[in-house]
Structure 1
Amino acid sequence: MAPADIDTSKPHPARLYDWYLGGKDNYPVDEELGRRLTAFAPVIPVMARMNRAFTHRATRWLAGQGIRQFLDIGTGIPTEPNLHQVAQAVSPDARVVYCDNDPVVLSHAQALLNGTPEGALGYVQADARETDRILAEAAEVLDFDRPVGLSLNALLHFLSDEMGAYAVVERLTAALAPGSYLVISHLTPDFHPAEASQKVRDMYRANGLTLDMRDRDRFARFFDGLDLVAPGILAAEEWHPELGEPVPGQEGAHSGEYVAVARKA
């Protein structure tokens, strides 16, 4: 039985993502939508794994650039290796704060907060649009006068323009010190037939979920005022593949998402 504060009447993106990855921390309502979506588009679980692989590569790259602080918003249910494990494998003193709005993720926070003795970990239970709260609570672990790697992976496509997606990114990046980085992965309709993308959007909407799959130009807007680092905006599988192992089942598949990393001057 789910705890009282967990809404199992409709799917949640974090639990749906967990189901795609073969996890057990989801409910029948999540599995039902997941099965319908994968029946229509069987590649979706591979796409989820490709997104995670990008997250690992980008984190490894940031740590290699000397970033020692990370803020991961839209964390999702823990699936090893978690972001802090990747970062602390490069730099044991890395400090990481996770943020998600699903109580299921909170219930697994202990797994997220088991890091190295040299580092520090924190967790914020908040909606991504609660930027002031996120920044205030994250500041208990992170020093925002020093560079931070901000990760918004597989998150922003669940926020429409009307819900303030661009404002969220602007407020968060405004709080970052020069030398910080922004990492985003985002579903896009650009790599799929228009009718297929619309079908997936409709299936999410019918279950009370927003899914705004932005095209390349709308994705690029999230990086206004920042300096994109090479190789720029690409599909997830094309971004520094040398930094991580291939994703099982990836051959011939496409991530269906744009990714990019940008630096704040």
Structure 2
Amino acid sequence: MSEIDVDRPNPARIYDYLLGGSHSFAVDRRFAEEMVRVDPIVRPAARANREFLRRAVRAVQGLGIRQFLDLGAGLPTMGNVHEIAQREDPGARVLYVDNDPVAVAHSRNIIEREHISHVSAEQADARDVDAVLDLARRDLDLSQPVAVLMVALLHFVPDDDHPVDLVERYRDAVVPGSALALTHVTRDGQGEHVTEVYEAYRSRATSRLVDRSRDQVAELLAGWEPLDPGISWAPSWRPDGPAGPFAGEPSASGIYAAVGVRPA
């Protein structure tokens, strides 16, 4: 099991704190508040990212998908995938995968304490595709469509780890009719102030943050047929309510979002 680093901010714990969760350390909370002071949109952007996840899960369920492989799942916080999916179908299966032992331990605790069926949490690095697929074959049925969730994951995968190839390997492992949901931070349309946030992640957090352009996000979606409206700003991807702080300016979120389907 990986050693827990309590001295450096951790992205999963920062995200949980920004969403109003309680699974963070003082170092994470201080870092998150520093980011909010630099760019106040950080907190509503985190919520917009989470709201996209909810809508994406419902969208792929509308396609008949009942299995979810949540990569880089993070800490169990508001709007867990299994809560969204099993509200529609109590038999929906979810495999949470994260490389953070704290995130996995908390997820397992919730699963056991609440006696949740058809849901499991495992520690693995999404970049170790073979290990993740071994877990998926055990807990999911890969002969049936699966929704691969890479929400707020790929911007922590540096170019040296070939993120396009990574997504392609997961695409090739699932059957036609499966789906991919992703979000990704970008500097497209953003002010210079975001540079301080990115540099802080790179120098102080346990994982580097890599921003990518819309064209680069499109490369990640190669081989997947995007659902309407294609690559969109997260608050604008099939909104089902008011855009809140992003009304009229969804680009301020700084997050691209998309859902694609593997064609036959």
**Taking structure 1 as the reference length, what is the TM-score of the superposition?**
0.91
Measure the CA separation in 2 of the matches of 1:199 and 1:162.
Answer: 23
Deviation readout 1:86-131 (Å, 9 max, x if unpaired): 11111121111011111111221232464765xx112120111111
Percent identical across equivalent pairs?
A: 39
Change (3 A) 1:255 1:112: farther
Does the CA contact (< 8 Å) of 1:227 and 1:263 recur in 2?
yes
1:138 equivalent in structure 2? 136
Structure 2 partner of 1:111: 110
Tell me the equivalent position of 2:8.
Answer: 10
Q: Work out whether residues 235 and 258 of structure 1, in 8 Å CA contact, stay in contact via their aligned partners in 2.
A: yes
Give 1:249 shift.
5.2
Matches of 2:67 and 2:6 in 1, distance apart? 34
Aligned to 1:261: 259
Alignment of 1:87-102 (within 5 A): 87-102=85-100
Map 1:171-210 to 2 at 5 A: 171-193=169-191, 195-208=192-205, 209-210=207-208
Deviation at 1:202, TM superposition (A): 1.0
User: What does residue 221 of structure 1 align with?
Assistant: 219
| Range moving further from structure 2, 203-212 or 248-257 | 248-257
Gapped runs of 5+ residues in structure 2? none
In the superposition, relative to structure 1, how do residues 163 and 237 fare at CA in structure 2: closer, same or farther (>3 Å)?
same
SS at match of 1:108: helix
Rounded Cα–Cα distance in structure 1 between residues aligned with 2:97 and 2:222: 24
Q: Which moved more, 1:96-105 or 1:51-60?
A: 96-105
Quick one: distance in 1 between partners of 2:115 and 2:127?
Answer: 27
Q: Distance in 2 between matches of 1:171 and 1:210?
A: 22
Look up the equivalent residue of 2:110 and give its one-letter code.
Answer: A
Moved more, 223-232 or 105-114: 105-114
Q: Which residue of 2 aligns with 1:125?
A: 123
Deviation at 1:196, TM superposition (A): 2.2
Aligned CA distance change for structure 1 residues 78 and 247 (closer, same or farther; 3 Å): farther
CA contact (8 A) 1:84 1:115 kept: no
**Distance apart, 1:198 and its partner CA:** 2.1
- 1:182 match: secondary structure: strand
Alpha carbons 1:124, 1:138 under 8 Å: kept: no
Tell me, in whole angstroms, the C-alpha distance in 2 between the residues paired with 1:96 and 1:123: 8
Equivalent pair of 1:152/1:183 in contact (CA under 8 Å)? yes
Q: CA shift at 1:85, angstroms?
A: 1.1
Q: Judging changes above 3 Å, is the alpha-carbon distance between structure 1 residues 213 and 155 closer, same or farther for their aligned structure 2 residues?
A: same
Q: How many residues align?
A: 258
C-alpha contact (below 8 Å) 2:235/2:243 kept by paired residues: no
Taking structure 2 as the reference length, what is the TM-score of the superposition?
0.91
Report deviation, 1:141: 1.4
SS at match of 1:199: helix
Give 2:73's aligned amino acid.
T
Counterpart-to-counterpart distance in 2, 1:216 and 1:172: 21
- The equivalences for 1:16-35 within 5 A come to 16-35=14-33
For residue 246 of structure 1, report the CA deviation from its aligned partner.
Answer: 4.3
Shift of 1:81: 2.4
